[in-house]
Amino acid sequence: MLARAFRRILLIELLIYIAAGFGLVRLAGWDWTGAGLALFAFALALRALAIATTFVIAARYSSPVPPEYRLGLAGRLKLYCAELGAYLLIYHVYQPFDGLFVGTEQAQPSPQGRLPVLLLHGYVCNRGFMLPLRRYLRAHGIAAYSHNLEPVYAGIDSYADGLARRIEEIVAATGAEKLVILAHSMGGLVARAYLRKHGTGHVAKLITLGTPHHGTEVARLGAGENGCQMVPGCDWLRRLNEAAPAVPLVSVFSYQDNIVMPQESSVLAGARIVRLSGMGHVSMPFSRRIREAALEEILTASA
């Protein structure tokens, strides 16, 4: 279970910092307050550097940005801070402790006239990633459910059967004939693999957020079969894209996405494209514009 792995990593890191703190206090004569603050600042700096590196790499492979989607210095600083804040919250709270926030998620009959929604996370993530969107949709009367894609490094096609079972559970419990899939990043490719294998009978619409429909250069640094399948030009992506989307598909992306590069990899023939700016990859679930656009598409599918 990925949440357990995240917790172990955080625990190991904490133990390393505690050991370093003892070293600073006993050997260098620091007080515990100073040592604690210095080590906290070091840990935060490492994460800030990692996020900054993704933006540097993304700039190397970025799509041409139309003038109306460009950002000034203040906009770029806001974008960076939002991405760093989202990373800290999602990877240190929501995903390691997803059971505390999401629970068992028993499906119930949906509100009249509104389709249920299944949320799908992306690469090396779990259902905790989509928690901000889940909360938002539920606050607006949408029955939103999530699903873990496991094993973590499996081929994308291998997730289709587990996704099919989850969809069957939701439509049976809610009484709805169909649902909407709202997927982030690799989750959009998983949804398309499911549709290719299991058909469109239970899906009214697919909404993808920052999905690399044509791959992303950063996938060359990834691990696992699914990482290889997101490298631009790979045979798996080519075969997936040979057919038009099987259901109405809306692809939402940001010109400042720091993981999907080039960013227009999210542009897919046959899909309705929603172009945005000013948000990074991890911060998408927190974006007001993303939430509002997703809600509008869900309500349209329910009409």
Q: What is the pLDDT of residues 242-291, one digit of tens each?
A: 988 989 999 999 999 999 999 999 999 999 999 999 999 999 999 999 99
DSSP 59: H
CATH of the domain at 224: 3.40.50.1820
Mean pLDDT across the stretch 33-44? 96
Give residue 233's pLDDT band: very low, low, confident or very high (50, 70, 90).
very high
pLDDT computed for residue 50 by the predictor: 97
pLDDT in tens, 147-176: 999 999 999 999 999 999 999 999 999 999
Mean pLDDT of 53-66: 96
pLDDT-derived band at 1 (thresholds 50, 70, 90) equals confident
pLDDT reading at 303 higher than 80: no
Question: If you ran DSSP here, which 8-state letter would residue 154 be given?
Answer: S
pLDDT for the residue 106: 79
State how far the Cα of 251 lies from the Cα of 187, in Å rounded to an integer.
Answer: 12
What is the b/e burial string over 185-220, where b = at least 16 CB atoms within 10 angstroms of the residue's CB?
A: bbbbbbbbbbbeebeeebbbbbbbbbbbbbbbbbbe
Containing 16, the helix (H) or strand (E) segment is: helix 2-28
Look at residue 63 and tell me whether its pLDDT is greater than 80: yes
As for how many domains the chain has, the answer is 1
* Sequence-distant contacts of 98-104: CB under 8 A, at least 24 apart: 98/3, 98/126, 98/127, 98/128, 98/131, 99/3, 101/128, 101/131, 102/127, 102/128, 102/131, 102/134, 102/146
Q: What are the tens digits of pLDDT across the range 70-126?
A: 999 999 999 999 999 999 999 999 999 999 999 888 777 777 779 999 999 999 999
Which residues constitute the domain of residue 122?
Answer: 1-303
Confidence band, pLDDT 50/70/90 cuts, at residue 235: very high
* Long-range contacts of 157-163, Cβ-Cβ distance < 8 Å, separation of 24 or more: 157/193, 157/197, 159/190, 159/193, 159/194, 160/190, 160/193, 160/194, 160/196, 160/197, 160/198, 161/197, 163/120, 163/190, 163/191, 163/194
Q: Are strands 203-209 and 179-184 parallel, antiparallel or unpaired?
A: parallel
- What stretches of 20-135 adopt beta strand conformation (E)? 117-120
61 contact partners, CB below 8 Å, separation of at least 6: 217, 261, 262
pTM of the model: 0.95
Three-class SS state of 151: coil
Q: Are 91 and 154 in contact (CB under 8 A)?
A: no
Q: What is the pLDDT of residue 266?
A: 98
The model's pLDDT over 181-219, given as tens digits with 9 standing for 90+, comes to 999 999 999 999 999 999 999 999 999 999 999 999 999
pLDDT of residue 252: 98
* Residue-averaged pLDDT of the chain: 96
